[in-house]
Chain A
Amino acid sequence: MSKQEWPLYEVFIRSRAGLSHRHAGSVHAADDQMALDNARDTYTRRSEGISIWVVPSARIVASDPAETAAFFDPAEDKIYRHPTFYEVPDGVDNL
């Protein structure tokens, strides 16, 4: 028997209507349909979801941890990007 591992898939589950899919974990599977089955059997055994997405892990493009500083630090001191400096006029209930 081959000891080669099946490819990895990332699993996203929507717990109920109106919410977005959230990352739940990953499964190994030989093909897309099997990945969906395996995700169902692994991550929705306790009624966790009503919809499942699976994505080959290899197809996810991720930011490089080595570039964290360049990627994210510049946003830290831009407090003016948070909408906390505006006074909400009286009578505006929904902004």
Chain B
Amino acid sequence: MNAEQALIAYVLRLADNALILGQRMIEVVAAGPELEEELANANFALDFIGQARMLYTCAGELEGQGRSEDDFAFMRDEREFQNLLLLEQPNGHFGDALVRQFLFESFYVHLLDGLTRCSAPGLAEIAARAIKEVKYHLRHHSQWLIRLGDGTELSHARVQASLDDAWQYTGEMFVADAVDTVVHESFAGPDLEAVAVLWRRDVAAVVEQATLALPGDQAMASGGKDGRHSEHFGFLLAEMQTMQRSFPGATW
């Protein structure tokens, strides 16, 4: 794999992460617990969809074969998506979805921060835009984690269970494969080991403030970066792609 191929794969992964998480969040639009939280979730989901659009367009330009953002989003199959497993996990209850957002965004801000200093054409600009959005998401979700963890006995127990359940999907974020390594070395991309240290520090601080317990070391699930997804993914993709699959090229 040469540096250009690795960069395209890398940008597509970032785009897949943003799209799949955005799609998951959109599933609960109109089901928010309060009007204000409903609006926040929809805003955040659209932030991710917007990032996915910029990143797919960037990947298409790097690839130079005329593939559009829609081609990447709607015309690829399950194995071609390389998003993290954490992001495709079902929404579950409010605490489950919140923990998923918190764990990912704690990682994503540091990843984006690294990317703002990378030398890849276009990517640094996209990261600079995205990081402002994600910093706010993280603030919002950190506060919710603290509120629920340090809330009632019931909210504490439920959100602790959410944290324990989601933990197995966090290891994958920090395992650098060939794509990560090439982008790190050839384009001054983020160093995942350094990101892992920052992530651990930040997550531990919020979890402690939330009076929750950090889950212990355990076997970590992986496969998302290789296109091997959990059983939930096919359903997500089917719903997301049905229009373009049924009416290819349809516009409105």
A residues touching B (Cβ–Cβ < 8 Å)? 6, 27-31, 33-34, 37-38, 40-42, 45
| 0/1 interface trace, chain B 4-48, chain A, CB 8 Å (1 if under) | 000000000000000000000000000000111101100100000
| Residues of A close to B139: CB separation below 8 A | 37
B39 touches A42 (CB 8 A): yes
7 A-B residue pairings within 8 Å (CB atoms): A28-B34, A28-B35, A37-B36, A37-B40, A38-B37, A40-B136, A42-B36
Secondary structure of the B side of the interface? helix
* Range class of the B interface residue count: 10 to 19
- Indicate if B140 sits at the interface (CB-CB under 8 A): yes
* Measured CA separation A37–B139 after assembly (Å): 9
Within B117-176, the residues touching A (CB, 8 Å) are 136, 139-140, 143, 147
* Measured CA separation A42–B36 after assembly (Å): 6
Can you name the residue of chain A whose Cβ is closest to the Cβ of B37?
A38
| Residues of B close to A30: CB separation below 8 A | 147
* Measured CA separation A42–B34 after assembly (Å): 12
* Measured CA separation A34–B35 after assembly (Å): 13
| Residues of A close to B43: CB separation below 8 A | 41, 45
